[in-house]
């Protein structure tokens, strides 16, 4: 069996679409399940995975997941509070969804129904879900009649984003409502909820082709924002183990022909992770069934692309207009009641992005006087290449320098020469170079960028020699060596807690790097000088430093060029991109787990969302680079036999 973290992506609770109460009240239901002999952890998991519907639904879930490898896994679900429109306004928005999809194809906004984000995603233990739902019900009752209706919405468009923004004064009222829910949730369910602090809005379209803007903008202007609407505060949950998976829907039944194949039932959903597809041959995919939690191979032409939203569970839906749960006269979708009918295309769109902090990105709009004519800015963040001390051990300096400090190459993967250091060769102990293969890795990345017709306008890198050398070889591959100078920025150095000893490395000054024929900008003045770095800084300090320097780098190059490349450390891919997306930092434990999985020359890309000032991760313009280590080879030891 694979490691636990790998298996987390192999199961998710089943979604129910029948009628159910608006809040989870499963005390008596839990007792019934326990009396039937189900363990408490399994019974609770079944209840929250079906929205606390009833005993039958929970039993069905348990029986269908009897072979689920994560049936007893204690990992809790993830929750979020949204404000959803209903009635005439929903019909208007539904029409916009249909027409925009027919006219321009699917964009990111089609992955989720219209909503206003009230809080960020948060975790809640299965045994606390009932109390969490009570917290929402109490908050809604407290706010009865206090939220102005109808909500004043204003259309905003840019080259990559279209949305309806809540007028500021009313938005503050909604934020107070969310803050009260956070307080209630902490008191009743012992969970931490972070209210949404950015500008409140309904996303209509984003991540669409520039050529589609006129059509989408025209359709958006036809939405009558003054239409009648009852807004519903809705509590959703999802299984975070599938956050980075693609969702597929089964169109035809399939009976397995081999042991490694998955049985398909029409209407079921399949979760597919791109990293797991190496085991699948052409025309097949490897995925996990929503209905059973089992994984296996399946024919690709038996499934269609779907939306992650079909795996979400509703735990509470309350009108903020009359503060009563909707009556049974409305339509019912996944346990959530609506006034009027909900279009099928919306029913199949409940998720916007696999990020842990929310499907509708927290957008902070900066409204310019005029639209910029420049192309959108891009940020690339790349880890350095293979490092000497990892390949040849931490004592490589002792082995490669003689008593006079002269460098002696003893392996083809060692560089032919090394830059001189004013402090002597012992400074290489904490500031190692990259290997020959590390240089090759970097040039491959540069050549791939060149083939993709990507031009780098500005290059920033950590002061570590391995990062400067990597940036140099990327520029060589791009055929921009000498044309684009490397700006050495100490603020991009990795978390100093990871530096051994009681002092920071002694880095080669930019002037000496230039003397060593590295294309370094000797006139550049860093945003965070070396003197501001401290040994063993806290995690919060490192994250804040990375965010600050990234934000300042982007700001200083605004309107001067479209593409910025940062070459730094494995941790930089997360630390330099997460907060510019408007997301909160991860805790240090989760952060370390992400960093451990980033290989040499790991590469990610971000784009600015039009004029919003918020960025989002996008597909890089190049393919990933996969490689692995090999053992040292000594022909005498291995081939000469006694």
434-469 pLDDT, tens digit each = 999 999 999 999 999 999 999 999 999 999 999 999
pLDDT average, residue stretch 323-339: 32
Q: What are phi and psi of 319, to 5 degrees?
A: -70, 130
Which of 384, 443, 487, 578 is catalytic? The answer is: 384
- Cα angle 424, 428, 429; round to 5: 115
Is pLDDT larger for residue 48 or for residue 86? 48
* Position 376 confidence tier, pLDDT thresholds 50, 70, 90: confident
**Beta strands 201-206 and 331-333, pairing class:** unpaired
Whether 19 contacts 332, CB under 8 Å: yes
Question: How many angstroms separate the CA atoms of 576 and 583, rounded?
Answer: 12
pLDDT at site 373: 33
**Number of residues assigned to the chain:** 642
557-610 pLDDT, tens digit each = 988 888 999 999 999 999 999 999 888 898 998 899 889 889 999 999 999 876
Question: Of 556, 426, 560, nearest to 491 (Cα)?
Answer: 556
Known active-site residue 384: yes
Is pLDDT larger for residue 337 or for residue 200? 200
Whether 391 contacts 413, CB under 8 Å: yes
Which of 318, 383, 425, 473 is catalytic? The answer is: 383
pLDDT at site 27: 52
pLDDT average, residue stretch 389-400: 91
* Position 80 confidence tier, pLDDT thresholds 50, 70, 90: very high
Which of 196, 245, 487, 569 is catalytic? The answer is: 569
Whether 375 contacts 610, CB under 8 Å: no
597-609 pLDDT, tens digit each = 899 999 999 998 7
* Position 322 confidence tier, pLDDT thresholds 50, 70, 90: low
Known active-site residue 383: yes
The average confidence (pLDDT) of the chain is: 84
pLDDT at site 280: 83
pLDDT at site 613: 67
Question: How many angstroms separate the CA atoms of 205 and 62, rounded?
Answer: 39
Q: How many CB atoms lie within 10 A of CB 209?
A: 11
pLDDT average, residue stretch 294-309: 88
pLDDT at site 500: 85
Is pLDDT larger for residue 374 or for residue 243? 243
Is pLDDT larger for residue 423 or for residue 343? 423
pLDDT at 350 over 90: no
Query: What domains are there in the chain, each with its CATH number?
Result: 30-65 (no CATH), 77-251+302-316 (3.90.1140), 378-387+432-618 (3.40.50.1240)
pTM of the model: 0.49
pLDDT average, residue stretch 236-245: 86
pLDDT at 287 over 50: yes
* Position 10 confidence tier, pLDDT thresholds 50, 70, 90: very low
Is pLDDT larger for residue 29 or for residue 401? 401
Question: How many angstroms separate the CA atoms of 334 and 450, rounded?
Answer: 48
* Position 288 confidence tier, pLDDT thresholds 50, 70, 90: very high
């Amino acid at each position: 069996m694979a490691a636990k973290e790998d298996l987390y992506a192999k199961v998710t609770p089943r979604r129910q679409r029948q009628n159910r109460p608006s809040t989870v009240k499963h005390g008596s239901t839990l007792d019934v399940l326990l009396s039937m002999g189900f363990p408490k952890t399994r019974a609770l998991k079944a209840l929250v995975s079906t929205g606390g519907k009833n005993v039958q639904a929970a039993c069905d879930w348990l029986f269908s997941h009897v072979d689920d490898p994560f049936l007893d896994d204690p990992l809790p679900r993830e929750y979020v509070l949204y404000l959803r429109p209903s009635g005439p306004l929903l019909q208007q928005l539904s029409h916009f969804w249909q027409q925009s999809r027919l006219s321009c194809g699917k964009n990111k906004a089609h992955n989720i129904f219209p909503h206003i984000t009230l809080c960020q995603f948060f975790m809640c233990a299965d045994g606390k879900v009932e109390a969490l739902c009570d917290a929402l019900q109490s908050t809604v009752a407290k706010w009865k009649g206090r939220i102005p209706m109808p909500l004043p919405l204003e259309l905003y468009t840019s080259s990559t984003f279209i949305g309806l923004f809540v007028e500021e004064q009313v938005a503050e009222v909604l934020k107070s409502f969310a803050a009260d829910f956070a307080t209630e949730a902490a008191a009743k369910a012992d969970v931490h909820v972070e209210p949404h602090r950015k500008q409140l809005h309904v996303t209509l379209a984003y991540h669409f082709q520039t050529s589609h803007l006129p059509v989408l903008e025209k359709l958006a202007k036809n939405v009558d924002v003054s239409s009648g609407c009852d807004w519903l505060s809705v509590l959703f949950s999802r299984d975070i183990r599938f956050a980075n998976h693609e969702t597929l829907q089964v169109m035809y039944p399939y009976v397995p022909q081999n042991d490694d194949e998955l049985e398909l039932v029409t209407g079921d959903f399949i979760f597919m992770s791109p990293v797991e597809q190496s085991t699948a041959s052409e025309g097949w995919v490897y995925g996990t069934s929503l209905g059973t939690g089992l994984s296996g191979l399946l024919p690709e032409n038996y499934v269609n692309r779907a939306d992650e939203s079909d795996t979400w569970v509703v735990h509470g839906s309350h009108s903020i207009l009359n503060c009563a749960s909707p009556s049974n006269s409305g339509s019912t979708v996944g346990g959530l009641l609506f006034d009027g009918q909900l279009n099928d295309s919306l029913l199949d769109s409940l998720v916007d992005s696999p990020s842990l902090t929310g499907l509708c990105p927290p957008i902070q709009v900066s409204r310019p006087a005029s639209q910029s004519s420049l192309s959108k800015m891009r940020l690339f963040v790349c880890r350095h290449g293979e490092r000497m001390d990892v390949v040849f051990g931490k004592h490589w300096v002792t082995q490669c320098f003689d008593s006079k400090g002269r460098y002696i190459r003893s392996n083809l993967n060692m560089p032919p020469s090394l830059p001189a250091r004013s402090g002597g060769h012992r400074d290489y102990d904490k500031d190692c170079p990259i290997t020959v293969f590390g240089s090759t890795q970097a040039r491959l990345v540069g050549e791939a960028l060149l083939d993709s017709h990507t031009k780098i306008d500005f290059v920033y890198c950590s002061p570590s020699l391995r990062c400067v050398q990597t940036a140099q070889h990327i520029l060589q591959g791009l055929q921009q060596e000498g044309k684009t100078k490397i700006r050495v920025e100490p603020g991009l150095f990795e978390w100093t807690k990871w530096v051994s000893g009681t002092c920071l490395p002694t880095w080669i000054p930019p002037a000496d790097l230039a003397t060593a024929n590295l294309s370094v900008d000797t006139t550049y003045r860093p945003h965070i000088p070396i003197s501001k770095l401290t040994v063993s800084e806290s995690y919060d300090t490192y994250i804040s430093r990375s965010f600050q320097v990234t934000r300042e780098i982007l700001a200083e190059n605004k309107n001067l060029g479209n593409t910025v490349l940062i070459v730094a450390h494995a941790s930089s891919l997360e630390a330099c991109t997460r907060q510019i997306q408007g997301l909160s930092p991860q805790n240090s434990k989760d952060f370390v787990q992400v960093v451990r999985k980033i290989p040499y020359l790991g590469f990610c890309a971000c784009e600015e969302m039009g004029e919003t000032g918020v960025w989002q991760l996008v597909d890089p313009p190049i393919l990933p680079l996969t490689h692995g280590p090999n053992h040292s080879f000594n022909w005498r030891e291995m081939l000469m036999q006694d």
